[in-house]
Amino acid sequence: MYDLGLKDKVILITGGSDGLGYASAELLSYEEAHVVICGRRGDYLNEKAKIITEKTGNEVIPIKADVSIAEDCKKLVEETIARFKKIDVLVNNAGASAAALFEDVTDRNWEDDINLKLMSTIRMCRLAIPYMKSNNGGVIINATIGGGKAPNAGSLPTTVTRAAGINLTKSLANQYAKDQIRVNTICIGLIKSAQWERRAGSGSIEDFYNELSKKVPMGMVGEEIDYANLVAFLSSKRSSYITGTAINLDGGLCPVV
């Protein structure tokens, strides 16, 4: 495996017990980073951390937290600092798809989505940045979507909160570049995950993905490892001159760069 120089880096991943966050946690653990993951289901989170630890031989630390709650964000960062004294990389990965027509989205839907996707990122960055500054730098990676740049009909509230996440990424990158804190966002397209499997229902998941792939210029749906590889690269010094970018990870699906 190509060494990305992540050994002993402290990497905190929100929403790390499933899907893209889990794939990232596993890859970064293989790279010998100190990986901390959070999730809302304590027993499930602990089990998933144990699985990665057994596979990689490198302990992954689970901390139960719901990042849509301000106090849980605070606890998550404080417990990470108490154990490792620093945070080198923050991956704001938590989130779930919420897509509907405008008139079908209630105030509660808007508030829940803003808390889960936008306010959680704001809070986690606000908590982690002072430690990164005292450690002479760090990396923040925010998960967003291509729809945050070019929304389709029926894609609310997700595309609005993700657009705000892209804006936040650029704002933070500009402000903290002088502190050697790099901030980038990965604009995710159609990538295989449990969320898509739930949408497939009782039908064939392969048939479902084959149908989705027709929308993608490259003719295929992405794999979780594609996201994990990009997270690992952006976490490493091999991306040391990259900040303030919104990188499309979508096989060419997003119509804008």
pTM confidence score:
0.96
Residue 66 — left, alpha, or beta (φ > 0 → left; ψ -120 to 50 → alpha)?
beta
* Residue 66 falls inside a structural domain: yes
| pLDDT at position 194 | 78
* Residue 256 falls inside a structural domain: no
Rounded Cα distance between 117 and 130, Å, is 21
CATH number (domain holding residue 183): 3.40.50.720
How many domains, in total, are found in the chain? Answer: 1
| pLDDT at position 140 | 99
Q: pLDDT tens, 97-133?
A: 899 999 999 999 999 999 999 999 999 999 999 999 9
* Residue 200 falls inside a structural domain: no
* Residue 179 falls inside a structural domain: yes
Q: pLDDT tens, 33-63?
A: 999 999 999 999 999 999 999 999 999 999 9
> Which residue range is the domain that position 78 belongs to?
10-191+223-247
DSSP helix/strand/coil, 12: strand
* Residue 15 falls inside a structural domain: yes
User: E strands within 109-168?
Assistant: 138-145, 156-157
| pLDDT at position 124 | 98
| pLDDT at position 198 | 82
- Sign of CA pseudo-dihedral 234, 247, 145, 168: positive
| pLDDT at position 1 | 52
* Residue 210 falls inside a structural domain: no
Give pLDDT < 50 ranges for the chain.
none
Rounded Cα distance between 159 and 153, Å, is 10
140: closest CA among 13, 35, 7? 13
* Residue 198 falls inside a structural domain: no
Rounded Cα distance between 111 and 61, Å, is 30
| pLDDT at position 137 | 98
* Residue 206 falls inside a structural domain: no
Q: Are 208 and 200 in contact (CB under 8 A)?
A: yes
Q: Are 191 and 20 in contact (CB under 8 A)?
A: yes
